[in-house]
Each structure stands twice: as C-alpha cells, then as structure tokens.
Amino acid sequence: MASDYLIEIKNVTHAYKLPDKSKLPVLNDLNISIAEGEFCAVVGPSGCGKSTLTRLIAGLMKPDEGEVWLHGERVRGPKKTVGMAFQNPVLLEWRTILDNVILPLEIVAASMPRKDREARARELLALVGLEGFEDKRPSELSGGMRQRASLCRSIVHRPEVLILDEPFGALDAFTREDLWQTMHDLRAEEPFTTLLITHDLRESIFLADEVVVLSGRPATAQYKMRIPGASADRSIDDLYTPTAAEQLNVLRRQIEIAQGRAADEDLGPVLEAAQ
C-alpha cells in the first residue's frame, strides 16, 4: 500500500524490562507520520522515551506493539538508508576528519572507489565550513566543528532518513545557532527526511516543519504544531518575531502539561492567541 509518508510510527507501545523483571513503559500508542523531505522535531520532558524512538526508527530495537514503516516498508532491522547523529559527536579519534566522514560509505557503498568517497566527503565538509580541516584529527577541532563533521558523516551516504538525537545539546548558545543555520543550508542541498530530538524549543521551531510534543512517560504524541515557512530561507532573526514568540509560548505550555505541572484547561486563551 502506497503511503504519503516516508516515516510512519503507528500505534507504537514499548516498555523496558527492568532488572527486577517489572516493566517500565516508555512509549504508549505513539503515532507520528513524516512526509518525504519534511523536518519533524520531537520535544518532551526528560526521560520520556525520545531516544527510544530514535532507536526504533533506526531498527536497532523492535517495538513491543505497533509498527514502524520507512518508505512503505516495515522496519524489522537496521537499514542502510538511515543516518544518525548524537549529542556526543562520537568521532573516531584515530581517523582524520575526512576518514571519519567516509566511514558510512565503507559500510553501505563498499564498491565505491576511494576517489569518489573522498570527493563526496570533501564536498560535504566544504558545505559545513570545514574546508581545510580534512586531514586534522578530531582532538584538534572544537566541539562545534566536531559536531559539524558528525553531521557530515550522518548524511554522507545520502540516507533517506536522518535521525538527530540532540546533536546541538552540548554546544554553547552561539555555536548552536551557527549550527542551526548550517542545518538549514544542508537541507537546501541534500534531500533527506529528518526526525530531530531536542530539548530546545527555539531550535525546534527554527528547524522543523512540524513540532511534536510528547507527553510524560509513557509518551504519546500530546500535541502537534505546524511551523509554516520553516523550509524556506530563515535567519536567527525569525526567532524574535511575534509569531515565533507565540509558537514558543504554546509549546512551553504543552511541555508544562507534559511534565504534569499545568492543567489542560488553562490552555484555551494561549491557544487562541497563537492562531
């Protein structure tokens, strides 16, 4: 059955087995659909199962119940069409930046000539502003530069799906905003569908076409917000408009509800203001 969506998470329920044999439910009847080329940000309280979600989509885990579909195929194990980046850039210290970026190609495109791999990696590194650093080791780069290299590695094999698990979380505010811009530039050049896990609401409305707020554990999709114009050219200035302020306000309230700190009925006026 053909579907309009590239990523589909259908009624996924998942629980972790604890050492004492009891179960800790983390996801509860979760539904998220992301169309091809869309950028979806998932926000939610700490420990609500966001990282579990990334592992389910990447095929590293199987959900207890429900289904995960990628491009009309049910996910039953790891796929070569996924790219991942984490809060920790996890670059391999013994490789140069160039060889770090090439790593996924060694796995999924073993027959690709070395020359072509290098050309592809260099092209991406130039795109994120790392030209001239190809032969450096990760330890010689700053945190922001390492994260840029990590982003290049996650998309070097032209994955259909890019999974970002708080990739900018450990960076300082200025570097983070630089990287948001870089992410936008990459999106303009490279076709991929993205699921971003983040704690930063500004990041979510700056980068995403749709923001999904997860409830507290066990998590379900509590609230979804479309962000118009996110895929168009944007600058950090767009975060300081009244529209952005309203979007942030609504999302903040939703997070408070997810954390159980605010009651649902308080939300009426805020929602109206955001329309």
Partner 1 sequence: MNLRKLAVPTLAIIVFLLLWEGLVWVNDWPNYKMASPSDLGPAFTRYWELFLVQGWQTLWRTVVGLLLAIFFGVGVGMIMGFSRTMRDALYPLLVGFNAIPKATVVPIVALIFVGAHDFNTVLIAFMISFFPIAVSVSIGLSTLEPEYRDILRSLGASRFTIFWKIALPKTLPEFFGALKVAVTLAFIGTNLMEIVSPHGRGLGALFDSGKTNSDYPLMFAVLIALAALGILLYYIVVWLEQTFAGWAERAET
Contact positions vs partner 1 (CB under 8 A)? 55, 58-60, 77-80, 82-84, 86, 88, 90, 92-94, 103-104, 106-108, 137, 139-140, 153, 157, 163
Residue 75 vs 212, nearer CB to partner 1:
75
Nearer to partner 1, 132 or 268 (CB): 132
Check if the beta carbon of residue 65 is closer than 8 Å to that of residue 11: yes
- Residue 66 near residue 29, CB atoms below 8 Å: yes
Tell me whether residue 60 or residue 248 sits nearer to partner 1 (CB atom): 60
The CB-of-115 to partner 1 minimum distance in angstroms stands at 21
Q: Taking the mean position of all CA atoms in its chain, how far away is CA 205? A: 13
Q: How far is the CB of 67 from partner 1 (least distance, A)?
A: 18
Which of 54/204 has CB closer to partner 1?
Answer: 54
Using CA atoms, how far apart are residues 78 and 220, in angstroms rounded to an integer? 24
Centroid of chain to Cα 46: 16
Q: How far is the CB of 94 from partner 1 (least distance, A)?
A: 4
Closer CB to partner 1, 136 or 252, in the complex: 136
- Under 8 Å between Cβ of 7 and 193: yes
Query: In the numeric block, which tokens belong to residue 111?
Result: 């027959």
Distance of closest approach, residue 2 Cβ to partner 1, in angstroms: 25
Question: Residue 92 CB, nearest distance to partner 1 (Å)?
Answer: 7
**Smallest gap from residue 60 Cβ to partner 1 (A):** 6
- Helices 114-127 and 97-108 meet at what angle, rounded to 10? 130
Identify which of residues 81 and 259 has a Cβ nearer to partner 1 in the complex.
81
